[in-house]
Amino acid sequence: MTLEILTADSLSFVRHGFFTRRGGASSGVFAGLNCGSGSSDQTDVVILNRARVAQAMEVEREALVGVHQVHSPDVVTVTGPLNDKPRADALVTATPGLALSVLTADCQPVLFADPEAGVIGAAHAGWRGARDGVLEATLDAMEALGASRADITAVIGPTISQRAYEVGPEFLDDFLAEDMDNSRFFANGTGDRMLFDLPAYGLHRLRAAGCGQAEWTRHCTYSDADRFYSYRRATHAREADYGRLISAIRL
């Protein structure tokens, strides 16, 4: 099956893709394009899936670079292939021929580009990373490479939508302790539960930080099992593990 790659018109000036699960070699609960080496999927199958992504991005396999994601605000500046994955949640580069990638399964994959400066970035932004500043840190790291914040376009790819993201009252309390205005990202759920709007929060953080253009592709990972992996959906279904989606961008 051919890989399905979602793209954003606002990033049409640079090769990029939010890859769905369609077109991969994995089977079982991972059926499709599982690119997570941290999953319990067969290692050789994950390597094959990643090779297909590298081919689609028109780079060598070692030029499809990523990090060991830990829900942090940490960003790595990349100038060549990485032998070891540093612990971080975002990457930036001004080096042509490298494809920056992040893995997600409900968290936000965010791709960044400044076409004038020739600088790109990719970030994994769950609620913790977004709250702790990974999106702003990515913009800072791009600026350090010569990008202009006002010229950066950022696109949030498939992520869990508000209607599927139920959280407890302590989660709301943590966000209100940071900023009472964060209440706008929550809606009432069942009983004392709340529904959190992760992509709206991500867009707010990007725009407040001065990002020139920010948007969400409006795909919900939880609601479309045929196209997307979802940690929360797998948990609700009591599945043993779950696949990871890959998103990538290159100059």
Write down the residue that tokens 């939010």 correspond to.
18
Q: What is the pLDDT along the chain (251 residues), one digit of tens a residue?
A: 799 999 999 999 999 999 999 999 999 999 999 999 889 999 999 999 999 999 999 999 999 999 999 999 999 999 999 989 999 999 999 999 999 999 999 999 999 999 999 999 999 999 999 999 999 999 999 999 999 999 999 999 999 999 999 999 999 999 999 999 999 999 999 999 999 999 999 999 999 999 999 999 999 999 999 999 999 999 999 999 999 999 999 99
CATH architecture of 5-161+197-250: 4-Layer Sandwich (3.60)
The pLDDT, as a whole number, for residue 36 is: 94
The pLDDT, as a whole number, for residue 38 is: 87
Distance CA 108, CA 103 (A): 9
Local structure of residue 251 (DSSP, 8 states)? -
Distance CA 173, CA 7 (A): 36
- Contact yes or no for 166/193 (Cβ under 8 A): yes
The pLDDT, as a whole number, for residue 245 is: 98
Q: Quick one: residue 221, left, alpha or beta (phi over 0 = left, psi -120 to 50 = alpha)?
A: alpha
Which residues, listed in sequence order, are joined to residue 33 by a DSSP beta bridge? none
The pLDDT, as a whole number, for residue 4 is: 97
Has this prediction a pTM greater than 0.85? Answer: yes
Total Cβ atoms within 10 A of residue 45: 15
Sign of the alpha-carbon dihedral angle for 17, 234, 124, 39:
negative
- Cβ-based neighbours of 204, under 8 Å, separated by 6 or more: 185
Distance CA 112, CA 115 (A): 10
Distance CA 51, CA 57 (A): 10
Distance CA 40, CA 26 (A): 11
The pLDDT, as a whole number, for residue 65 is: 98
- Contact yes or no for 138/112 (Cβ under 8 A): yes
